[in-house]
Structure 1
């Protein structure tokens, strides 16, 4: 119980007592005078909502790591990681305490002109944009794209488009080398605005509040006002994953945060239990499959400052 309370305190700081409630649909102001938006701001002074928009988004947080929600998935992020979110893919960064700066670029498919990404020379970048429907992460350890992102923001007006194209080309090369990580394998979480967004928010609320205990499939179905069978079909349709996979993903992310942030004297078994896993061997197997290393190895690398995700 003490470990659980301590971890909930860490999560509480990260979320600042925020509840999803509803996906915020942002309207990005682009016009004839501005084909894309590039800016940075003091991330420590602003809370980010769970939001989506019709534009692609490149984003990085400098100076702090934390928790990232992308579609129905959760993952950890580190300072300097760069993310590419496809159109209408909901996302939210929740930073750890400390000074941090967010760098953001938002653009449409026609930012370079109608049909530009259909040109033969740009097919690799077009493929990158198509893949961003699932959300892509570029770890700072494998590519220094955060600096290129800053160059776009700081460039003179006439240099911004070329700098953005260079950044996209660099990210497409990184993807070709197998360095990009897929965030939401199910793709775009909702296919139409309204019902899917609201249901997704309620589902995430339910998982967030119940993951540490005996989470109930029937209870989740009731929250969405669906029968058990309809609920299972619905979750698979809009996320590409089963309800159990979504819950385990959240539990594994929570366990990784505990291993990274809590005292080294806390046993892996205790972390497993507090994250909602009833079997230590099952937890170890799932954790290694998700992070590519055992919980103990992950903790050792985190203590040495080598863990990126």
Structure 2
């Protein structure tokens, strides 16, 4: 499975980040050190967590632990709330005394296996966090931190542990779709730096170009070319802030056919030029 390291830009004062992802946002296989909880508010999603696949509908939740390889393929009409955090959100003494990370890492990860009563409790708290995010009250961060303490307390007390749930098999049709998408992700990871044709990726997926085009658009919500360009930009973003490689070299090695195309797509996706992005988020001192 193709994977890359994501660097979530958490609020440094809080150790927390909230965002909304609509159906046209494809989360390709990746991992990060931070914890992440998603709440699906509309539509359906297929989720891969390490070597397991799940399907969620509106109201469903998933909890990704630090280091989990995960991806999300959503229907175009879907919408999901994303909550990311790390241990800096909580009091350092509490984290150490409770061994908080260790306890979180034992929890079951998908709401398919959670009691509906606890599901409702968690959804209520998450919605309260969303409401706080939408206002500019002076105590906003204080309230969000308090709600996150409540959320984690509910999870620790009431969610089942990994070894307490039996994961059912995914239906054959959905499993076939996810296996095919994994082939596509892996192909792109190996070849994104070179010229990738529709014929090449269709062959890797085991389809004709005509059928593959329809299959990919239906299950991913964007064309393959859109996905490929976004993937290349994601890779470029990582290299820009995590290495001292010149931007010109990253561009030339990133699979784009022209400088103009790279800069246009980068600015469209990120809202900044590559140089502005590096100056703002550079992690290489």
Which residue number corresponds to residue 73 of structure 2? 71
Are 2:270 and 1:291 equivalent residues in the alignment? yes
Query: In the alignment, which of 179, 197, 206 is matched to residue 225 of structure 1?
Result: 206
Are 2:227 and 1:246 equivalent residues in the alignment? yes
Which residue number corresponds to residue 256 of structure 1? 237
Please give the residue correspondences for 1:1-309 in structure 2 after superposition, counting only pairs within 5 Å.
49-54=50-55, 56-59=61-64, 61=66, 69-71=71-73, 80=85, 106-108=110-112, 111-113=115-117, 148-149=147-148, 151-155=150-154, 192-263=173-244, 266-303=245-282
Cα deviation for residue 277 of structure 1 reads 1.2
2:172 & 2:147 partners in 1: Cα distance?
32
Equivalent residues of 2:111, 2:119 under 8 A apart: no
1:250 & 1:277 partners in 2: Cα distance?
11
Change beyond 3 A, Cα 1:204–1:150: farther
Equivalent residues of 1:287, 1:294 under 8 A apart: yes
1:71 & 1:233 partners in 2: Cα distance?
15
TM-score by length of 2: 0.52
Cα deviation for residue 304 of structure 1 reads 7.0
Equivalent residues of 1:60, 1:79 under 8 A apart: no
**Unaligned segments of structure 1, at least 5 residues:** 1-10, 16-22, 24-47, 82-99, 129-141, 162-189
Cα deviation for residue 109 of structure 1 reads 9.7
Change beyond 3 A, Cα 1:156–1:78: closer
Equivalent residues of 2:242, 2:282 under 8 A apart: no
Equivalent residues of 2:233, 2:266 under 8 A apart: yes
Range that drifts further, 190-199 or 242-251: 190-199
**What's the Cα RMSD here?**
4.7
Equivalent residues of 1:152, 1:160 under 8 A apart: no
1:53 & 1:78 partners in 2: Cα distance?
19
2:175 & 2:117 partners in 1: Cα distance?
31
Equivalent residues of 2:236, 2:250 under 8 A apart: yes
Cα deviation for residue 60 of structure 1 reads 5.9
Cα deviation for residue 247 of structure 1 reads 0.7
| Deviation per residue, 1:9-66 (Å, 9 max, x gap) | xx99959xxxxxxx9xxxxxxxxxxxxxxxxxxxxxxxx61533355213464xx9x9
1:256 & 1:219 partners in 2: Cα distance?
25
**Unaligned segments of structure 2, at least 5 residues:** 7-28, 30-48, 75-81, 87-100, 131-139, 160-170
Aligned residue pair count: 190
Which residue number corresponds to residue 165 of structure 1? none
Equivalent residues of 2:50, 2:69 under 8 A apart: no
1:68 & 1:293 partners in 2: Cα distance?
27
Cα deviation for residue 70 of structure 1 reads 2.9
